[in-house]
Amino acid sequence: MDISDTRWRTKTKASPATSYRLNTVTKQSNTLTTQVSVSSLAVRLKEAQQAIDSARLNQQSFLQNNNVLTWLSQRKQEEINSAKREFEQLSKPQLEIIAMDPSNTFSKAEKAAAYEKWHALDQRALSELKRNALNDDNAMTSFEAALYTHSQTFSELGKAMLPDDYLSQAQSHFESALQGVNLSAHTMNNQATQYYRLMVTDLFAGNEPKVHNGAEGMSSHNLERSNYDFLTQKDRFMLADLYQYADQNDIDFEYIQKLANDIGNYRRHGDGKLLSNFNEGHFNTEGQKLTVGFTQRDQASIDSLMNNGALSSSTLDAGFVSFITDPGLGALSHQGSYQFLAHIAEVTAGIATSDSATQFKTFTEASSINERYVMTQSEESISLPEPDVTCKNGVCEVTEKGRKNGVTLTQNTQMLAPPIEFKPAQFDTLLHLQSDPNTKKSVWFKWLLEK
C-alpha cells in the first residue's frame, strides 16, 4: 500500500537510539525463548508508549518522517514480512504504538509492518461496512453514515496514520464499486431477458403459453398439447440459463430441446406419478418377463451423475432426475442425452465437468433402438391360461376350452383385425412421432383418437 500521503511518523527531539528487532521465534525455539520474546515485546511496547506520552507532553505533532518514507520506498519487503509474523496477534492499539514510536525502540521494518497490519485490519472493517450498505435500498447514504461512525472510533494515533482524504477516498471507492454492481446487475438482467426470449422462441415458436396443470396432462383437452406446455415457470427460467450457457459454449440447442421435452413429459404426468414402471410387470406372448435398461454408455453417465455430488447443488429438479434415471421410467421415454444431463448437473453445481462442452457441438440422434435402451427377457416364463378364443392373421376360432365353456362365434366375428404387438422398434417409432416438428403439438394421441 502506498503510504506517501499519510501522517505516518512523528518528528521528535529525542536523540536517535540504536535500532534492534524482536527476537525471532522459530519452530525450533523452546518455551523459554518464546517467553523471553513475548516479554521483550511487552517491554518495548511500554518503552514506545512512554516515548509517545513524552511527545504529547512536549506538544509535538505526529507528522510524516521523510527518512522512514525514503527507506520504505526501497521496498525491503522481506524485512517487513519477517516483522509482520511477530505482530500476528497484536491489536490495533498495539500496532499504533509500534508504527508511531518516536524513540526508535522499534526498527523501521517493524514500524512499516505494524502500519501495514493496522491498515489491513481497517480495510477488513471497511469491507464489512460496504457489504452491509449494499443490502440497504439507499446504499451510498447508508455507507457514508457508517463510515463517519467508524472514523469516530479512531484514537489520536490512529488518526495520525490516516491520509487526509481518508473519508473521501473510501466514499469514492464505494461509489465506484456500487456503479460496478449496478452495471453488472443491469447487464445480467439484460442477458437474462435476452436468453429467456430465446428460450420462448426456440421452444414455443415465440408465443409462450401459460403453465398447464400436469395433473390434467392426459385429459382429452390436453392430449394435443406439447410437453413444453407443462414446463413450470422454474423450469423455464432454468432452461433460459441453459440457452445462455449453450450459446456461449457453442452447444447445439437441440440438446436443450430434448431435455425440455423430457422435463415436460415428467410434468404432464403429475411429476411422473401418473406413469407406471415398465419393469414392474410386462411380459411377452411366451410369458417371459421383460426388463428394460440403459445402454452401457448411458449407465456410465448416470452412475457418474449419482456419485459425483453434483445433484445436491445443481439447479436440476431432483425429482425429475430420479425419474429419468430409473430404467423402468426413463429408458423408453427419454429423448435427451444422459451425457448432457450429467454435464449440466455439474455445470449448474459449479464443479469440474467430466466432459468438455465441445462434445455437445452437434446433436446426434440414436441410430437404432440398441443405442437408446436395452430390452431383456427372463429365462423363466409363466404359464398362461388357455384362452377361449384364439386369433391368427385375422381368423379366430374357439379353442377346446372355449367349446367346453359353450363359446361360439357368429359369422360376423370370424374375421377380426390382426392383433397389434408393439415390438421395440415399433414402439420407438411411435415415441419419435409424439410431436409435430413444426407445430410442436402432439400428433401421436390425435392419431390414436382418430382410429
Judgement on whether residues 325 and 379 belong to the same structural domain of the protein = yes
Cell of 73: 520506498
Choose one of 354, 384, 414: the last residue of a domain: 384
* pLDDT number for residue 183: 54
Q: Does a structural domain hold residue 362?
A: yes
Nearest partner of 255 among 362, 146, 177, 179, judged by Cα = 362
User: At which residue does the C-alpha cell 453417465 appear?
Assistant: 301
Kindly report the CA angle at 210 between 208 and 211, in degrees rounded to 5? 115
Judgement on whether residues 68 and 101 belong to the same structural domain of the protein = yes
Q: Does a structural domain hold residue 431?
A: no
Q: What does the DSSP assignment read for 133-146? A: HHTSSSHHHHHHHH
112: CB partners within 8 A, 6+ apart: 68, 72, 80, 83, 99
Q: What is the amino acid identity at position 39?
A: S
Judgement on whether residues 195 and 154 belong to the same structural domain of the protein = no
Nearest partner of 326 among 343, 338, 314, judged by Cα = 338
* pLDDT number for residue 330: 94
Q: Does a structural domain hold residue 425?
A: no
Report whether 308 contacts 354 (CB < 8 A).
yes
Q: Which residues of the chain have pLDDT under 70?
A: 1-39, 57-78, 178-189, 411-451
- Collapsing DSSP to helix, strand or coil, 291 comes out as strand
* pLDDT number for residue 60: 53
What one-character DSSP code corresponds to residue 381?
E
Cell of 296: 452401457
> Cα–Cα distance between 262 and 329 in angstroms, integer?
11
- Host H or E run for residue 47: helix 31-57
Judgement on whether residues 272 and 345 belong to the same structural domain of the protein = yes
What's the gap between Cα 419 and its chain centre? 52
Q: What is the pLDDT of residues 170-229, one digit of tens each?
A: 888 877 776 665 654 555 567 788 899 899 999 998 888 999 988 887 787 788 889 999
* pLDDT number for residue 83: 72
Judgement on whether residues 283 and 352 belong to the same structural domain of the protein = yes
Judgement on whether residues 367 and 234 belong to the same structural domain of the protein = yes
Beta bridge pairs of residue 273: none
Q: Does a structural domain hold residue 238?
A: yes
Angstrom CA distances, 353 to 295, 310, 350, 356, stand at 21, 10, 9, 7
* pLDDT number for residue 412: 55
Q: Does a structural domain hold residue 196?
A: yes
> Cα–Cα distance between 403 and 75 in angstroms, integer?
109
Kindly report the CA angle at 261 between 208 and 448, in degrees rounded to 5? 100
Q: Give the distance between the most distant pair of CA atoms in the chain.
A: 131
Judgement on whether residues 204 and 262 belong to the same structural domain of the protein = yes
Q: What is the amino acid identity at position 196?
A: Y
* pLDDT number for residue 313: 87
* pLDDT number for residue 251: 95
Q: What stretches of 216-314 adopt beta strand conformation (E)?
A: 288-293
**Within 13 A of 326's CA, how many CA atoms are on the CB side?**
15
The model carries a pTM of: 0.50
Burial of 70 (0-12, 13-18, 19+ CB in 10 A): exposed
Angstrom CA distances, 63 to 106, 166, 168, stand at 17, 16, 20
> Cα–Cα distance between 389 and 224 in angstroms, integer?
36
164: CB partners within 8 A, 6+ apart: 5, 7
Q: Does a structural domain hold residue 448?
A: no
Beta bridge pairs of residue 163: 6
Judgement on whether residues 202 and 269 belong to the same structural domain of the protein = yes
> Cα–Cα distance between 36 and 29 in angstroms, integer?
11
* Overall number of domains in the chain: 2
Q: What is the pLDDT of residues 394-434, one digit of tens each?
A: 788 899 888 888 888 876 554 444 444 555 555 555 555 45
Q: Does a structural domain hold residue 426?
A: no
Q: Which domain holds residue 88?
A: 31-164
Judgement on whether residues 310 and 257 belong to the same structural domain of the protein = yes
* pLDDT number for residue 338: 96
Judgement on whether residues 215 and 280 belong to the same structural domain of the protein = yes
Q: Does a structural domain hold residue 22?
A: no
Per-residue three-class SS string for 296-320: HHHHHHHHHHHHCCCCCCCCCCHHH
Judgement on whether residues 252 and 376 belong to the same structural domain of the protein = yes
* pLDDT number for residue 318: 93
> Cα–Cα distance between 139 and 179 in angstroms, integer?
11
User: At which residue does the C-alpha cell 410431436 appear?
Assistant: 435
Instruction: Describe the chain by its helix, strand, coil percentages, rounded to 5.
Output: 55, 5, 40
Q: How many CB atoms lie within 10 A of CB 289?
A: 17
* pLDDT number for residue 438: 55
Choose one of 349, 364, 384: the last residue of a domain: 384
* pLDDT number for residue 168: 87
Judgement on whether residues 207 and 340 belong to the same structural domain of the protein = yes
Q: What are the residue ranges of helices labelled H in 58-138?
A: 66-72, 77-86, 92-99, 108-134
* pLDDT number for residue 346: 92
> Cα–Cα distance between 290 and 284 in angstroms, integer?
7
> Cα–Cα distance between 189 and 22 in angstroms, integer?
55
